[in-house]
Chains A and B, each alone.
Chain A
């Protein structure tokens, strides 16, 4: 019995070939992740990291797009140190574009997060028809921003026989009305040229920027609705029932149960909206081209203008300086989100 027992408990000896194959599979396991990420890494290095590095480096040189700055041609370098940054930071156009971008940065995420929250909670409460409402808000997302700009340019057309908004205001008898409320001046009718100004003392905020934020918000809210509706699916129904048993009304359930559960998705919506607002270009380009004058000029459009429109004065170095400054602001704005992503444990 004893030998039999000994035979039964002794681990079976591995054949040398099996040992080799397991070693190989362990090695493969160790290298597999690297193999899987290699294609993405190549794309990342070639199309993101390298251009980003070249952008940062080229911001210290004077050059134009017709003769692009190249790290491989030191004989053509025109090193200007921090001049591009100095020139950018002392340029009135830069600060005007920064102010307009700041309007986008504050108003756009607030509108997107606010309406998405409201809509997603209402959809959550709806016994039926939720899918219809979700679709309604998501559909504009399928339209390109350039097309959105064209559609809204028609809506804003000053001629009431063409522009829907002015046609409605005309019927209501308030087309061309001027209102002055404290520091706020509002003129109805010229939505893309002079809808009014908010005088802040140290600066005038042109309301034309809001006329551009609204179409972007219309097109982008679907993203917020999807994200928050998905977030709400994780709310336990028992928790809501318990709150109701404790006497919470609909508003209190939303305020103390649903909204706290949406904190993480709200951060996502907020950060993505901030990044969207910072890099706004297409809708402004299509609807006003940054005008009238520089009323709606935003940083991304100013950057484009410096690089592509100012050919006679090589300004691409200034454009890259703006790009670097913009990237720094974006990284700072997205820091919390990025940290959350990077420290998140899998599973």
Chain B
């Protein structure tokens, strides 16, 4: 290698090293959102809502820009399943979006690497004003520091159905677990598929396991499992999966793993299945994606999945979307202003009025929800710290355990082998020393 070539290679290596080092440097500490309307500049926001939900989020951003005319917000939509990997790439490359949608698993990972804006001060005010509870603050925190704002709440374990179809089949709205399974038995006998499940997308399967764990094992065991304080071989968890196995064998459609979430939702909306267990967002998705003539509350509504054990206290299965701010943002003022706005009752009312949304901010008036379904779902949102709740298990765990949990669930739907499933999860999730 000549002197010149050697110099060239050295130059390239140095340039690449500088680029790599640059990714690990930079940033600032703390700060406050500027007074309303005083932020300026351009910021980039990553979200993963499309279609009707994308339009609703755009409406929220438009309202922010109206209130902050000097700020321009550029929204980048990324597919839900790819959010984590895309954010990782952008944060690792040193060019993170100023604000991005995130789930608790990724919030903890990014917080460990000191990549996020500290929002503790804002949370102090919100909890003090009664806008949010400490339970919600914990979901947005890592190691006691708040790094995210709660923007979109969601209540799950809602069993969606058509009142007309139930009438035609002579089925009453189930209030107990036995009535729930009896209703599905009757539908089967009448030649109607008891359930619509979009297992191809992975996450709809966790919509089943989370409420079953909450109902069979209880909120305490659920939250211990989420935090790695107990293993998957805990008898309460094993029993939960035995109950789930029974449901899969008796009522899950044969095409569960081949059917996507939207296809399953529309199959239920068109009365090709009796029930669909999903979140509150179905209220927006059915008219938008399946048939706009279907009226929430009249043509489709929901009941809360009944208790499995009457002695077990109520526990609400919640989830939702949070937003984080990049510590390395070049416009901290506008970033904090947007985060503060997203957490406000004012911003959340914009989407709440459109439907298919549960506002996590307790100050949002129930009057703003457009129909009975949304109002009913919003009432289920835990507004005080003493309501037992479990946050979406796999979103909470995140990372490798989340991916392998969904893979193991797909296998479980196929073979309903509880022992094999528990062994797989014990091998994957070693946090409890399993």
Q: Which residues of A contact B (CB under 8 A)?
A: 42, 45-46, 50, 54, 65-68, 70-73, 157-159, 162, 176, 189-194, 289-294, 304-305, 308-313, 315
Which residues does chain A contribute within 8 Å of B414, judged by CB atoms?
194, 292-293
Pairwise interchain contact B398-A193, C-beta atoms closer than 8 A: no
* Besides the known contacts A66-B92, A292-B199, 17 further A-B residue pairs in the complex with CB atoms under 8 A apart: A42-B12, A46-B12, A72-B20, A72-B21, A73-B21, A73-B24, A158-B255, A158-B258, A162-B263, A189-B255, A190-B255, A193-B255, A193-B258, A194-B257, A293-B407, A311-B109, A312-B108
28 CB-based A-B contacts, threshold 8 Å:
A42-B8, A45-B12, A50-B13, A65-B88, A68-B20, A68-B23, A70-B21, A72-B21, A73-B24, A158-B258, A189-B258, A190-B255, A192-B258, A193-B199, A193-B257, A291-B407, A291-B410, A292-B410, A293-B410, A293-B411, A305-B403, A308-B88, A309-B403, A310-B400, A311-B88, A311-B106, A312-B400, A313-B400
Cα A71 to Cα B14 in complex, Å, equals: 10
Which residues does chain B contribute within 8 Å of A291, judged by CB atoms?
200, 202, 257, 406-407, 410
Nearest Cβ distance between residue A281 and chain B, in whole angstroms? Answer: 13
Nearest Cβ distance between residue B263 and chain A, in whole angstroms? Answer: 6
Nearest Cβ distance between residue B35 and chain A, in whole angstroms? Answer: 34
CB < 8 Å: which of B9, B115, B399 contacts A45?
B9
Pairwise interchain contact B84-A308, C-beta atoms closer than 8 A: yes
Pairwise interchain contact B115-A66, C-beta atoms closer than 8 A: yes
Pairwise interchain contact B399-A313, C-beta atoms closer than 8 A: yes
Which residues does chain A contribute within 8 Å of B398, judged by CB atoms?
311-312
Residue B110, interface by CB 8 Å:
yes
Pairwise interchain contact B109-A70, C-beta atoms closer than 8 A: no
Interface residues of B in 375-416 (CB under 8 A from A): 398-401, 403, 406-408, 410-411, 413-414
> Which of the four size classes fits the interface of chain B?
35 or more
Which residues does chain B contribute within 8 Å of A292, judged by CB atoms?
199-200, 257, 410-411, 413-414
Residue B16, interface by CB 8 Å:
yes
Cα A54 to Cα B17 in complex, Å, equals: 11
Interface Cβ pair total, 8 Å cutoff: 119
Map CB proximity to A onto B43-82 as digits: 1 under 8 Å, 0 otherwise. Answer: 0000000000000000000000000000000000000010
CB < 8 Å: which of A192, A309, A312 contacts B200?
A192
Cα A54 to Cα B16 in complex, Å, equals: 11
Nearest Cβ distance between residue A206 and chain B, in whole angstroms? Answer: 11
CB < 8 Å: which of B85, B105, B202, B411 contacts A308?
B85
CB nearest to B254 among chain A residues: A190
Are A311 and B84 CB-contacts (below 8 A) given A73-B21, A293-B414?
A: yes
Q: Tell me whether chain A's interface is mostly helix, strand or loop, or mixed.
A: loop
Residue B267, interface by CB 8 Å:
yes
Q: Which residues of B contact A (CB under 8 A)?
A: 8-9, 12-13, 16-17, 20-21, 23-24, 81, 84-85, 88-89, 91-92, 105-106, 108-110, 113, 115, 199-200, 202, 254-259, 263, 267, 398-401, 403, 406-408, 410-411, 413-414
Which residues does chain B contribute within 8 Å of A193, judged by CB atoms?
199-200, 255-258
Which residues does chain A contribute within 8 Å of B108, judged by CB atoms?
312
Which residues does chain B contribute within 8 Å of A70, judged by CB atoms?
17, 20-21
Pairwise interchain contact B89-A311, C-beta atoms closer than 8 A: no
Cα A267 to Cα B403 in complex, Å, equals: 39
CB nearest to A312 among chain B residues: B399
Which residues does chain B contribute within 8 Å of A308, judged by CB atoms?
84-85, 88-89
Top 5 A-B pairs, shortest CB-CB distance: A312-B399, A308-B85, A72-B17, A193-B257, A193-B258
Cα A289 to Cα B203 in complex, Å, equals: 13
Cα A310 to Cα B400 in complex, Å, equals: 4
Nearest Cβ distance between residue B85 and chain A, in whole angstroms? Answer: 4
CB nearest to A308 among chain B residues: B85
Which residues does chain A contribute within 8 Å of B13, judged by CB atoms?
50, 71
Cα A332 to Cα B411 in complex, Å, equals: 35
CB nearest to A46 among chain B residues: B12
Cα A189 to Cα B255 in complex, Å, equals: 8
Cα A305 to Cα B81 in complex, Å, equals: 12
Pairwise interchain contact A71-B106, C-beta atoms closer than 8 A: no
Cα A159 to Cα B290 in complex, Å, equals: 15
Nearest Cβ distance between residue B300 and chain A, in whole angstroms? Answer: 19
Pairwise interchain contact A66-B20, C-beta atoms closer than 8 A: no
Pairwise interchain contact A66-B88, C-beta atoms closer than 8 A: yes
Pairwise interchain contact A66-B17, C-beta atoms closer than 8 A: no
Which residues does chain A contribute within 8 Å of B89, judged by CB atoms?
65, 308
Which residues does chain B contribute within 8 Å of A189, judged by CB atoms?
255, 258
Pairwise interchain contact B257-A294, C-beta atoms closer than 8 A: no
Are A294 and B88 CB-contacts (below 8 A) given A66-B109, A72-B20, A193-B258?
A: no
Pairwise interchain contact B109-A312, C-beta atoms closer than 8 A: yes
Cα A42 to Cα B91 in complex, Å, equals: 28
Which residues does chain A contribute within 8 Å of B106, judged by CB atoms?
311
Are A157 and B263 CB-contacts (below 8 A) given A289-B202, A291-B202?
A: yes
Cα A193 to Cα B410 in complex, Å, equals: 10
Which residues does chain A contribute within 8 Å of B91, judged by CB atoms?
66
Which residues does chain B contribute within 8 Å of A310, judged by CB atoms?
399-400, 403
Which residues does chain B contribute within 8 Å of A72, judged by CB atoms?
17, 20-21
CB < 8 Å: which of A45, A191, A309, A313 contacts B8?
A45
CB nearest to B23 among chain A residues: A68
Which residues does chain A contribute within 8 Å of B17, judged by CB atoms?
70-72
Nearest Cβ distance between residue A57 and chain B, in whole angstroms? Answer: 12
Cα A290 to Cα B263 in complex, Å, equals: 20
Which residues does chain A contribute within 8 Å of B113, judged by CB atoms?
66-67
Cα A341 to Cα B345 in complex, Å, equals: 67
Nearest Cβ distance between residue A110 and chain B, in whole angstroms? Answer: 27
CB nearest to A69 among chain B residues: B20
Are A311 and B399 CB-contacts (below 8 A) given A66-B91, A190-B255, A291-B407?
A: yes
